[in-house]
Structure 1
Amino acid sequence: MIPVSAVKGHQGKKWHLPHHGVYHPQKKLQVVFDSAAEYGGTSLNRQLIQGPDLTNTLVGVLVQFREEKVAVMSDIEAMFSQVRILVNYMDYQRFLWWPNGETNNPLREYRMKVHIFGATSSPSCTNNALKMTAEQSNEKTIENTIKRNFYVDDILKSVVTIDEGHQLAGNLIKTCKTGGFKLTKFNIRSYSRRR
């Protein structure tokens, strides 16, 4: 909930995001914020700067992925939600919520403290945070792997042996954790290359 001292917003400026729930039988409720929703002829996305495209090309990641015979794959859990935004910008990501989903209760006002999926600036900001995490690594191999083998939140890397794959996975987990990124759904397996 928004602290009483921040209810008016930074210099009186704030934006409320419409949102809805997405339900999946095997997953928990996911709240989706609509930063493209318009009010008064504008939207949050129209006011945000996109920033540079720091996403690796899918073709480039896939070509490198086929270099060796052992595949290492993983995913960053809720990547955008791992990167915080500055306090001054949190008021542009406000939303209203009924406690426990009870519409008889008074509405409460909240604000997102992290980048949201669908916001124009989120991909550039989160990719930049990931690349900065890579640069803090003491190992050039890990730095290069993070910078070159991620496609958005998925890593696809190939190595020579299963043991090398496990060692790489451990080092990636440790390095990504320093930036607040949690790697999940690891899959390390050997496959035969067709020539």
Structure 2
Amino acid sequence: MVVKGFAREIYTYDPIERPQQGDARLEEGQLFLPHQGVYKNERKDKVKVVFDASAETKGLSLNRALFCGPKLQTEVTHVLTRFREFSVAFCADIADMSACIHLNSQDAKKHRFIFQKGGETLMHVYEMNRLTFGDGPSPCVAIATLRQTARDFGAKDSQAVKSIEENFYVDDWLKSTVTLEEAEILAKDSEAGQF
């Protein structure tokens, strides 16, 4: 996460020392999210960090304070039906879709987490600067961003924009065409958004 630029270290502190006036730990508006590592495959060589924005402290959670927005994802049955419509089928996935979307500094402050490096006594406080998968509004924000990007960069090709709007299920694009050439053109035209 840090290496990819999705998070940055904000400060470190010694948990034994009491915070004094001006200590970064007393900064207003911080919210710390619990997190855990989840292996992405059976080889256990790739770990994905998952945040729990629904975790409660004193009856409050980040997800309770967020407006989730409308359900924007296309019904999966519609996407799958169109996927099987023609003889040439292809699919694509937007890698780390949530991580493609930056958080503003006020929202990033609500996405902090604490990490203790092995063998150290210091606590490291990091701040996510990208949308996290565990936030309630993440699907709505990600899909709205994808569709707006398609409209912004696909003005010359309404077929590509329509395909992105109708044939995505969250971050998975499932499409079929009559010919291989048509599929190649549609895939090439859809890359303009750089997702």
TM-score by length of 1: 0.82
- Match of 1:17, SS? coil
Q: Counterpart in 2 of 1:165?
A: 183
Counterparts of residues 23-172 of structure 1 (less than 5 Å): 23=39, 24=41, 25=43, 27-98=45-116, 101-136=117-152, 137=154, 138-172=156-190
Q: 1:111 to 1:130 in 2, by over 3 A?
A: same
Q: Which amino acid in the other structure matches residue 47 of structure 2? A: L
Aligned to 2:30: 14
- Secondary structure in 1 aligned to 2:109? helix
Structure 1 runs (4+) greater than 2 angstroms displaced: 7-10
Q: Distance in 1 between matches of 2:32 and 2:44?
A: 30
User: Is contact 2:11-2:125 (8 Å) kept?
Assistant: no
| 8 Å CA contact retained: 1:9, 1:91 | no
**Which structure 1 segments of 5+ residues have no match?**
182-195
Partner of 1:2: 10
State, as a whole percentage, how many aligned pairs show the same letter. 35
Cα distance between partner residues in 1 of 2:91 and 2:26: 42
Give the 3-state SS of the residue equivalent to 1:163 in structure 2.
helix
The aligned counterpart of 1:176 is 193
Give the CA deviation at 1:27.
4.4
Structure 2, unmatched stretches of 5+, are 1-8, 13-21
Give TM-score scaled by structure 2 length.
Answer: 0.82
* TM-superposed deviation, 1:28: 1.5
**Distance in 2, Cα, partners of 1:106 & 1:168:** 51
2:10 counterpart letter in structure 1: I
Following TM superposition, by how much is the alpha carbon of 1:61 offset from its aligned partner in structure 2, in angstroms?
0.8
CA distance in 2, matches of 1:30, 1:152: 18
